[in-house]
Amino acid sequence: MSTPILSVENLSISFGGLTVIDDVSFIAPEGGRVALIGPNGAGKTTIFNLLSGVYRQDKGHIRLGGALIDDAPSRARIGLGMARSFQNIRLMPHLSVVENVMLGQHSRADRPGGMWAPLKLFGRSPARDEAEALLADMGLGTWPGQEVATLPYGIRKKIELVRALAARPRLLLLDEPAAGLNGTETAELMAFLDRIAGTGVTLLVVEHDMSLVRSLCDTAVVLNFGRKIYDGPTAEVQKDPQVLEAYLGPRHAGEDAHVA
């Protein structure tokens, strides 16, 4: 059996005496598509902050490709193959599409001077050529020179994902990628994420849109009040009694539900 790209082992963290994540373990297999879901306040974003190095866990371990990364800072985790998108778009609106994608390349700099390599002032740089090729490969080659602020919201969401891909991740953390999108935009995003997964990048997705989760993800990990209550096939998650109780309450746990 191959080593999982991500292994979360008995992770716990408390804030001010309140336990927010309590002994959570799960894996993301190489090339897998894993959903991390649960009711509001379940601890999903906290897990992402622990994985990406924003917070340091009180207990437990995180392994990326088998390597222990408990003490690795955020930048080092990106360099080891982990990238993240956010629920709220964090592009530079005054920069062009290709310039935003080039920002994602900075995490690959192996020396201080390398930070400036993508910003070559005269002529074309290999970094710019690479960014434009990545945009074209992902179906976004139409807008490389256009200012991001002028583009539709759905396109900007895709550009943020391409910027994350510019770091050449093995694992991509997606925090509610469909938030704020209409039905058409969500369908386009689904196809876009499917294309990304097809390149071999492992996806870990926090998302409330269960139609997207069911279509995109093979397995689901469900949290409730910081504890894991389900870890298994996405197709079966809506039948699990603990999951139904978490979303509907104990009086309705026997009913069919649309887990969101």
> pLDDT tens, position by position, for the chain (260 residues)?
578 999 999 999 999 989 999 999 999 999 999 999 999 999 999 999 999 999 999 999 999 999 999 999 988 898 899 998 876 677 888 889 998 888 888 766 555 545 445 455 445 678 888 889 888 888 888 877 889 999 988 888 888 888 888 888 999 999 999 888 899 988 988 998 999 999 899 999 999 888 999 999 999 999 999 999 999 999 999 899 999 988 877 654 555 545 55
**Residue 181 neighbours by CB distance under 10 Å:** 19
Domains, the chain, ranges and CATH?
1-81+169-260 (3.40.50.300), 90-168 (no CATH)
The order of strands in the sheet holding 59-64 is 18-28, 6-15, 59-64, 67-68
153 closest CA partner among 182, 125, 117 = 182
